[in-house]
Structure 1
Amino acid sequence: MGADASTPQSPPAAAQVQLLGEPRLLLGRDGAHPLERKDAALLALLAIDGPVPRSRAAALLWPEVDGDAARNNLRQRLHRLRKRAGRDIVISRNDVLRLADDIAHDLAALPARLAEDAAAAAGDLLGAFDYDDCTELADWIVIAREQWRAARRNALAQIASQLESEGHAALALQYAERLVADDPLLEYAHRRLMRLHYLRGDRAAALAAYERCRQVLGRSLKAQPARETEELARLVQASGALPQPMPAPRPVAVLRPPRLVARDAEWRLLEQAWHERRIALVLGEPGIGKTRLLTDFAGAHAGTLVAGGRAGDARVPYATLARLLRAAFAAHAVTLPAWAAAELARLLPELGTAAPEPFESVRLRGALAHALARCIADGLQALAVDDLHFADDASLETLLASAEAEQGPRWLFGVRTAEAPPALDAWRARCGPAAVVLPLGPLDAAAIETLLESLSLPGIEPGAWAEALARHTGGNPLFILETLNALFAQAPVVVLTKLDLAPHVDWDARQCRDALRRIHPGVYLFELSARTGQGMEAWLDYLVGLVPPD
């Protein structure tokens, strides 16, 4: 099984402090426990301000008593918290309090949480708790609440703005609606909501958003909408064009090329590993095409499930494994025996009550093997786990041990070469020929030409662009596609070859540029050779933000 099965591992972090909405202490299988008013304030103070001297915490929470009595009250509170949780929630060292390292709270990583879910981070800090009897603490909480609301508003606005600029109007709409709901007096948020509805072609919804804005401002502030809002409303009413329309969508082929290019040899090795039931490990630098190869291969083989690590998993034991199990149970409706369900409920609370026994990795692996066997009976053939460099140590050890088992699904892994965890290198050495390693290299000019031919992009001659793109991007497929994306995002740009100028042989390049700038003053001209691509380097340098041509 790889690691010594008798060596116990720490269970996943099972305590989390919920400070938004009704403050609660979430204790995994032991359920959720409401936090008393001053307990919640203490934990909020530590979550926001970090380490705090015991004397300051005691004075904030019990201003009505002397220092000794306040410190005694604090000591009793900390004791009760520890007793309730069965673990340290707050650490005291050198008369300074801080949250224990393995205690999570719902104020952390706000932008990332909202980026994943527009409805995340709901509720006010410390809910409806009132602290008027603690004057200094009450003042701190008023400021902390407003800072939290402002941080949430800013994050929602930034995400909505980025999504709108990228052309994702429908997704941006979710964040714009959340922002208006969070603070109905933000006129710019109402204006964004109007604009997004209109850009999606929903004129009625845009006008309804304007009417709501007008009513809210009039009722709450006795004010009328700003001139910019009124102008936008008139444009919507008249079905006129917006002053700054969203950029035209880029060719969909650049977002996802229609076919995999220049990976035939690697595909054959994957097929061989599949038929021989050997583990496949795909290695490569970021953007080289590991994910595309694994997902395309999975799509060609029924019963293959794709999951993977994510940034941040390393901080949460068993995060990657839990995601894989959720995907497996979503694809295969299986019934587990009570003991296996209870063991896996340590990772997936939705499975029910977790096993009461102390955590042991050998029992978890047994439950995992049983669950995978049930999924295999329901049609599971293989598991492809991508981005293994993001996986937490506990998941990585469990996954690699499971892949070595004689019974079970086929396994495919993907990992960045330079970021491969040491445990993976040790596992490769131990597996030997049981694992097939597939290092992915960059695309050469011929492969890039084939890629460009498959994209069928207007104005792009594959033969003329391939060599220059190979030199400019090092043959990395992601860099190639991003360069092409930049090409279609830049406006206004005109790229001419010398053959394009053939009907105007009496003009030189500067005359062409002057003529084009009379049409649009911001135009740039790049003179390229139709046969050799000469001049392409200047164009590519321009795309990555270097100085434009004279």
Structure 2
Amino acid sequence: MPSSSSSWQLTLLGPPRLVDGRGNVVRCEGKVLALLAYLALEGAAPRSRVAGLLWPDTVEGSARNNLVHLLRRTAKGYEADLVQAGETLSLAEFVQVDVHGERGPGELLEGATWPDLPEFTDWLLAWRGRLDSERTSAWRAQAQALEDDGSYDEALSVTRRLREVDSLSEDALRREMRLLYLLGNAAEALGVYEAAATALHETLGTQPLPETRQLARDIGRSAEVRASASGETPLPVSVARPPTLVGRADAWAKMEAAWANGQGIVLTGEPGVGKTRLALDFLGAHGGGMRFEGRPGDAGLLYATHARTYRQVLDAYPDLALEPWVRDELTRILPYLGGHPAPIENEEQKLRFWQAKVESLGAAIARGLRYLVFDDVQFMDVASVEAGGFVFANLGWGRPDAPYRTIHIFRKGELDETKAAMLEMMVAAQLVVLVDVDPLGSDAVEELVRQLDLPGGGQVARELGQFTGGNPLLLLETARSLHETHARTGELPDVLPLPDKATTVIASRLARLSPSALHAARAAAVLESDFDLEIVAQTLGAPLLDTASAWEELERAHIVRGSRFEHDLVAEAVRRGLPSAVRRLLHRSAARTLAGLGAQPGRVARHWREGGDARSAAPWFVKAGQEAVRAFREREADTYFREAQRAFEEAGLVDEAARLRA
């Protein structure tokens, strides 16, 4: 009989399914399914109770005897004791049940009926109602948290799951409309509204609530749409996100041609030129998709980008039917999956790990993940990039009949040698089309200024175009600064305070923040990526609620959105303005915080080094090197061990440095 190491999987949400410890789907229906489902949901139960449910018209003695025979047939048929039998019955520990984890969509025991078991049927109906209530409450909270975090794609995925269960919920309808608008899909948001209005009329003979109708009117005229739990912003919505894209017709045409040919699209341009906005608007015009990204601090770590990417995929598709070995391999980058993979010792084992990524992403594509944006490739770690090339090569990348499309984005001139070589190879093979995103021309600048509600018209546009070089981010940051400083009078100064680069105008906006908000921004900038309010508060040594209040101020000022900066250049401006002593102090505090949270050793080591503490950094670099060895990443291991040697030498620990050289 199997132990807990050979897990069986019992799926109760949606069509029921039982998978044995070898990954085979086995037959499970009738009273066997009823028995397993009851024990899975209720826990341990007396024999008499179970026997009465399954044989309601039989005297208790005979019913209990029937139960004994059922248990024997089940154990013999499955060659496993799925039920622990004593005076009470319980499900074996090695049987994993989907309702005990993160619950995806699907009706409880969908399609299964027991017309001869009326009491069991009543029990099932009650549990269906209970699970629906629990799931919808959890999904509402999850969608709210994701929206507050600025993770609009993921929030939209959860909201749509909620509407599948409760299609008449206007709260969920309004959230879906709002999220679509914030993602740049105003037309789709209005289409969702029209479909829901029709369904309400046909089903209930009524029309949407006044607030729902008002939201539709607001979206129709691109008026302000507030995220439900965010603080009010002093800036017009046009400054937060201009309603329409300008000056990108040529780039859009090239993207459409590549899309039709099945080729990947690669956007490149200077920082702040509008690459991400172009990609997301293009994605919205084609039905939407998911955005993944590299973040500052990923480079040099082990699969940091892919850990974030595959967490997003599994969060969006929590009920993917993945083989046990796939989940076990993915545990290498997603420890919460609970597997126990052995260290990677050769190329074959590394490719098995990469193949698990192929299987999981392929399963998500089969479930409807069609369009993918990969932003800020220049920040991605090499291990993730190399594995990503393998994944897409095995998923038919670049073929016209491929069931998905991709857009990659990077800053011009900022790819390392490995990424630049891969890009050159893919362009030569016509797998991808490289599209340059240039600064805006004078006509486009004038149109953008008109959208930003700045007085002065053409004269302001000419001045802005001259001083910003047509860089949209610098235009927007200047507009935000002008709105913040001159909102009360409604008039612009005679001479516009136009800087020559975005970081300068961002710095002027940072100077208007309260001290607590500036401290929070500085801590987040030092942490770089994968932080939340709790981590920022711990790094500052500040009360969580005080940090939350400061964060709300940063969101109102459009410095941050959720748990990330509005733009990489904003974070760079914050870091650039850090006094040296404060920067080192925050790095050391970040190292202690991240070490306590189990972050990658390489990330902890970097913070100790940047904090000026070589003695503390050295052992963490050693740990990072050992981790790289276990991941069969020789290049990263060599780099980490050299960093460790250097840190030991700087700390005066020459014996430890010598041992590493040996």
Bigger relative contact order, structure 1 or 2, given CA contacts below 8 A and separation 6+?
1
For normalisation by structure 2, the TM-score amounts to: 0.41
Bigger Cα Rg: 1
Higher helix residue share: 2
